[in-house]
Every structure is written in C-alpha cells, then in structure tokens.
C-alpha cells in the first residue's frame, strides 16, 4: 500500500477493531504513507466521541490527512456525479481524492467506488 483513501466503511472497521485494517494502518505508519480521509466520511461515522476512542486516535495520527470538501471540490464532485449518473456526494469525494492522489480506496462497498472511477484500485474491508 502506497497510501490509501479510507471511506466510511473503513472508518467503521477501525471502530470495530478490525485486525486487517489495523495491520494496514501499522504498515502505512511504518512506511510513512499518507492515509487520506475525506471529511464527509468522518461526518458519516462520528457520533459519540466518548465511545469512539479508536477512531479518534486514528484521526490524530501524523500520517492521516483529512480533506475538506470546499467549493472547488464540490464543483468537481458535481461533474463526476453527473457523468456517473449517481448521487452519493461522499463516495464521489472518496473517488476524487483517490484519483487525484493515485491511492487505493479502502471501502466496504467497492462497487459504488468503481461506478465513479472504473480504473480506481479498491480494497474491500
């Protein structure tokens, strides 16, 4: 793994203590690879910080970059959604980040990501 974009499903896997995701995170830290998290994915899973210690710790790692959805990104996402004939803004932001950074997507639903970017690399969690 040379860096990855984590979608909401990957963040949920962290919360659940998924061992395979923990191994991928450890490997990324060892190699100093960037883990990209679109901010909307955080919003989709962040509910009770008192019970989300694993997720909070992950988001504070030095190699984790949370990417905001600003106006420029929003316009690109809108064009991508129109081209793919779909409506999930957060999935489109994940796909856009992965494409821009040439990173693999860790996702619980590769089909959704592939519909937005057929050439993107995915890894199911």
The domain that holds 44 is classified in CATH as: 3.40.50.1010
Q: Are 4 and 33 in contact (CB under 8 A)?
A: yes
Query: Given pLDDT bands bounded at 50, 70 and 90, which one contains residue 104?
Result: very high
Question: What pTM, to 2 d.p., does this model score?
Answer: 0.96
Cβ neighbour number for residue 74 with a 10 Å cutoff: 12
Is the pLDDT confidence value at 85 over 60? Answer: yes
Per-residue pLDDT reduced to its tens digit, 16-58: 999 999 999 999 999 999 999 999 999 999 999 999 999 999 9
Q: Are 36 and 103 in contact (CB under 8 A)?
A: yes
Q: How many domains does the chain have?
A: 1
What is the maximal distance between C-alpha atoms in the chain? 40
Nearby residues of 33 by Cβ (< 8 Å), 6 or more positions away = 1, 2, 3, 4, 27, 63
Tell me what pLDDT residue 1 has.
53
Q: Are 7 and 94 in contact (CB under 8 A)?
A: yes
Q: What is the domain range of residue 23?
A: 4-124
């Amino acid at each position: 793994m040379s860096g990855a974009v984590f979608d909401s499903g990957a963040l949920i896997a962290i919360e659940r203590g998924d061992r395979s995701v923990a191994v991928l995170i450890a490997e990324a830290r060892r190699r100093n690879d960037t883990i990209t998290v679109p901010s909307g994915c955080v919003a989709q899973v962040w509910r009770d910080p008192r019970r989300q210690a694993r997720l909070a710790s992950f988001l504070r790692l030095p190699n984790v970059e949370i990417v905001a959805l600003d106006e420029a990104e929003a316009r690109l996402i809108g064009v991508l959604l129109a081209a793919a004939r779909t409506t999930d803004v957060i999935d489109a932001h994940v796909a856009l980040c992965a494409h821009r950074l040439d990173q693999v997507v860790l996702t619980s639903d590769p089909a959704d990501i592939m519909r937005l970017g057929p050439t993107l690399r995915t890894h199911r969690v």
